[in-house]
Structure 1
Amino acid sequence: MLSLALHTLRSRKGAFAGAFAALLCAAALITACGVLLETGLRGHVAPERYAGAPIVVGADQQLHWTKHKKHKVKTKSKPLTERAWLAADVADRIAHVPGVTKVVPEVTFPAQTAHGKAQGHAWASAALTPFTLATGREPRADGEVVADARAGARPGDTITVLATAAPRTYRVVGVTAQTTPRQANLFFTEQEARRLAGRPGQVAAIGVFPASAAPAVRAALRGTPAELYTGRDRGSLEFADASKARVTLVSMGGALGGTSLLVAILVVVGTFTLTIEQRRRELALLRAVAATPRQVRKMIGREALLVGSGAGLVGAAGGLFVARWLRSLFVGHGVMPPNLGLVLSPFPMAAGLAATMLAAWAAARLSARSTVRIRPAEALAEAAIERRRPPVARTLAGLVVLAGHVTLLAVLRALDVEAAATPVTFLAVVLGAFAVALLGPVPARAATAVLAVPLRLSRVSGHLAAANGRAGTRRLASIITPLTLAVGMTCTILFAPATVADAATRQAREGVRAEHVLAGRVPGAAELGRLPGVRAVTAMVPTSIRVGEGKYAAQGVTPAGLTRTIDPGVRAGSLDRLGAGDVAVSTTAAGHMHARLGTELNVTLGDGTPLRARVAAIYGRGLGFGDVLLPYGVVAAHVDDPLPRQVLVAGGSADELRRAVARYPGVRMSPAAQAAGQRNSTEVNLVIMGLIIAFTAIAVVNTLAMATAERSREFALLRLVGTTKRQIRGMLRLETLSVTLTGVVLGTAIAVGTLSAYGAGMTGSARPAFPPLAYLGVVVGVAVLALLATAVPGRLALTVHPPEALGARED
Structure 2
Amino acid sequence: MIGFALKTLRHRKGAFAGAFVALLCAAALVSACLMLLETGLRGSVAPERYAGAPAIVAADQFVRESVDKGDGKTKTKAKPLTERAWLPGSVVAALKGTPSVSKVITEVTFPFGEYTGHGWESAALTPFTIAEGREPREAGEIVVDARAGLAVGARLRGHQVVGVTAQALPSQDTVFFSTAEARRLAGRPGQVSAAGVFPGLAEAPEGAVLYTGDERGRLEFLDAEQARVKLISMGGALAGTSLLVAILVVVGTFALSIQQRQREIALLRAVAATPRQVRALVGGEALLVGVAAGVLGSAAGLGLGLWLHSTFVALGATPANLRLVVSPFPAFVALPATVGAAWVAARVSARRLARIRPVEALGEAALDRGRLPWPRLAAGLAAAAGGAVLTLVLSGLSTEAAATPVTMLTALVWTISLALLGPLVARAVVRALPLRGTGVSGYLAARSLRAAPKGLAAVLSPLTLMVAMTCTILFAQTTAGHAAQEQADAGSLAGHVLPGAAASASAVARVPGVEAVTPVLRTSVRVGLTKYAAQAVAYDPRTIDLGVVSGSMKGFGAGSVALSRTAADGLGLAVGGQVRLTLGDGTPATLGVAAVYTRGLGFGDLTLPYELVAGHVDDPAGTLLVSAPTLTGDALAAAVPGSVVLDRAQAAEVSAANPQVTFVALGLIIAFTAIAVVNTLAMATSGRSKELAVLRLAGTTPRQILRMLRLETLCAVLTAAVAGTAISWVTLSAFGAGMTGSATPYVPPVAYALVLAASAALALAATALPARLALRTRPADAVSTA
With the shorter chain as reference, the TM-score category is: over 0.9
Determine if contact 1:194/1:200 at 8 Å carries over to the other structure. yes
Instruction: Give the conservation status (yes or no) of the 8 Å contact 1:508–1:673.
Output: no
> Aligned-pair distance for 1:520?
4.0
Contact 2:15 2:683 in 1 (8 A): yes
Are the counterparts in 1 of residues 116 and 172 from structure 2 also a CA contact under 8 Å?
yes
Among 179, 191, 207, the residue aligned to 2:180: 191
Residue in structure 2 matched with residue 341 of structure 1 by the alignment: 323
In structure 1, the residue matched to 2:399 is: 417
The equivalent of 2:140 in structure 1 is 143
Kindly state the Cα deviation for residue 501 of structure 1 after the two structures are TM-superposed: 0.5
1:125 maps onto 2:114 in alignment: no
Corresponding residue for residue 803 of structure 1: 780
**Alpha-carbon distance in 1 for matches of 2:340, 2:503:** 59
Alignment-derived partner of residue 87 in structure 2: 86
Structure 2 letter corresponding to 1:140: R
Deviates more, 1:528-537 or 1:45-54: 528-537
Instruction: Please give the per-residue CA displacement for 1:38-97, whole angstroms capped at 9, x wherever unaligned.
Output: 111111111111111111111111111112334111110111111000012433322232
Name the structure 2 match of 1:238. Answer: 220
TM superposition shift of 1:802: 0.9
Check whether the contact 2:43–2:325 (CA below 8 A) recurs between aligned residues: yes
CA offset digits 1:428-478 (Å, max 9, x no partner): 111111111111011111222222x2x334312222112211112101100
What is the TM-score with the length of structure 1 in the denominator? Answer: 0.95
Q: Which residue of the partner structure matches residue 781 of structure 1?
A: 758
Corresponding residue of 1:464: 444
Q: d(CA) in 2 for partners of 1:601 and 1:241?
A: 27
Q: How is 1:211-610 mapped onto 2 (pairs within 5 angstroms)?
A: 213-215=200-202, 218=203, 221-222=204-205, 224-451=206-433, 453=434, 455-521=435-501, 523-559=503-539, 562-610=540-588
Provide closer, same or farther for how the CA distance between residues 662 and 21 of structure 1 changes in structure 2, counting only shifts above 3 A.
farther
Percent of aligned positions that are identical: 57
Cα displacement (A) at 1:771 = 0.5
2:695 is equivalent to residue 710 of structure 1 = no
SS in 2 for 1:104: strand
Q: In the TM superposition, what is the alpha-carbon distance from 1:416 to its structure 2 partner?
A: 0.7
- 2:403 and 2:195 map into 1 onto residues whose CA distance is 42
Q: 1:248 to 1:422 in 2, by over 3 A?
A: same
What's the secondary structure of 1:291's corresponding residue? coil
Q: Which moved more, 1:421-430 or 1:65-74?
A: 65-74
1:166 maps to which residue?
none
Residue of structure 2 equivalent to 1:760: 737
Which amino acid in 2 is paired with 1:258? G
Q: Match for 2:84: what amino acid?
A: R
- The amino acid across from 1:33 in the alignment is C
Q: 1:170 aligns with which of 159, 162, 165?
A: 159
The residue that corresponds to 2:19 in the other structure is 19
How big is each residue's C-alpha offset from its partner over 1:504-554, in whole Å with a ceiling of 9 and x where there is no partner?
A: 100111112222223345542221111222221111111111112221110
Alpha-carbon distance in structure 1 between the residues aligned to 2:637 and 2:696 = 75
| Residue identity in the other structure for 1:610 | P
Q: 1:736 to 1:775 in 2, by over 3 A?
A: same
Equivalent residue number for residue 72 of structure 1: 73
Question: CA–CA distance in 1 between the matches of 2:502 and 2:16?
Answer: 61
Equivalent position of 1:164 in the other structure: none
The separation in 1 between residues aligned to 2:161 and 2:500, in whole angstroms, is 26
Measure the CA separation in 2 of the matches of 1:532 and 1:668.
18
CA contact (8 A) 2:522 2:536 kept: yes
Is 1:158 the equivalent of 2:155? yes
Deviation at 1:646, TM superposition (A): 4.9
Cross-structure match for 2:716:
739
Q: Which residue of 2 aligns with 1:628?
A: 606
2:450 counterpart letter in structure 1 = R
Q: Distance in 2 between matches of 1:187 and 1:669?
A: 35
Is the Cα contact below 8 Å between 2:64 and 2:529 reproduced in 1? no
The amino acid that maps onto 1:98 is P
Q: SS at 2:542's partner residue?
A: helix
* 8 Å contact from structure 1 (residues 584, 618) kept in 2: yes
Q: Which moved more, 1:425-434 or 1:695-704?
A: 425-434
Aligned position for 2:190: 201
CA shift at 1:624, angstroms?
Answer: 1.0
Q: Aligned residues, how many?
A: 784
CA distance in 1: counterparts of 2:309 and 2:364, whole angstroms: 52
CA offset at residue 33 of structure 1? 1.5
Distance across 2 between alignment mates of 1:105 and 1:81: 22
CA distance in 2, matches of 1:754, 1:183: 43
Query: For the residues of structure 2 that align with 1:280 and 1:661, how far apart are their CA atoms?
Result: 79
Q: Give 1:679 deviation, angstroms.
A: 5.9
Instruction: Return the alpha-carbon distance in structure 1 between the equivalents of residues 501 and 210 of structure 2.
Output: 33
Residue by residue over 1:726-772, the C-alpha shift from the partner in whole angstroms, topping out at 9 and shown as x without a partner, is 11111121211111111111111101110011001100000101111
Alpha-carbon distance in 2 for matches of 1:405, 1:572 = 36
CA shift, 1:265, in A, is 0.4
Contact 2:370–2:454, Cα closer than 8 Å, also in 1: no
- Find out whether 1:618 has 2:596 as its counterpart: yes
Counterpart CA distance in 2 for 1:525 and 1:787 is: 61
Q: Distance in 1 between matches of 2:406 and 2:63?
A: 28
Indicate the SS of the match to 1:527. helix
Q: What runs of 5+ residues in structure 2 fail to find an aligned partner?
A: none
Whether the 8 Å CA contact 2:517–2:624 is kept in 1: the answer is: no
8 Å CA contact 2:369–2:452 kept in 1: the answer is: no
Given that 2:468 and 2:724 are in contact with CA atoms closer than 8 Å, whether structure 1 keeps it comes out as yes
Tell me by how many angstroms 1:652 deviates: 4.5
Cα distance between partner residues in 1 of 2:319 and 2:477: 24
The residue type equivalent to 1:320 in the other structure is L
Aligned 8 A contact 1:598 1:615 in 2: yes
Whichever residue aligns with residue 514 of structure 2, its letter is V
Q: Which amino acid aligns with 1:513?
A: L
TM-score under structure 2 length normalisation: 0.97
Conservation of the 8 A alpha-carbon contact between 1:519 and 1:670: no
- The secondary structure found in structure 2 opposite 1:637 is helix
Asked if structure 2 preserves the Cα contact closer than 8 Å seen for 1:522 and 1:667, the reply is: no
Whether 2:627 is the aligned partner of 1:649: answer yes
- CA distance in 2 between partners of 1:680 and 1:738 (Å): 38
Contact between 1:520 and 1:667, CA under 8 Å: does it hold in 2? no
Aligned to 1:793: 770
Partner of 1:163: none
Which aligned pairs between 1:53-68 and structure 2 lie closer than 5 A?
Answer: 53-68=53-68
Query: Is the contact between residue 265 and residue 359 of structure 1 (CA under 8 Å) also seen in structure 2?
Result: yes
> 1:671 deviation in Å?
2.0
Q: Which runs of 5+ in 1 are unaligned?
A: 161-168
CA contact (8 A) 2:218 2:225 kept: yes
Displacement of 1:305 in angstroms is 1.1
Cα deviation, residue 673, structure 1 = 5.2
Give distance in 2, aligned partners of 1:528 and 1:599.
Answer: 36
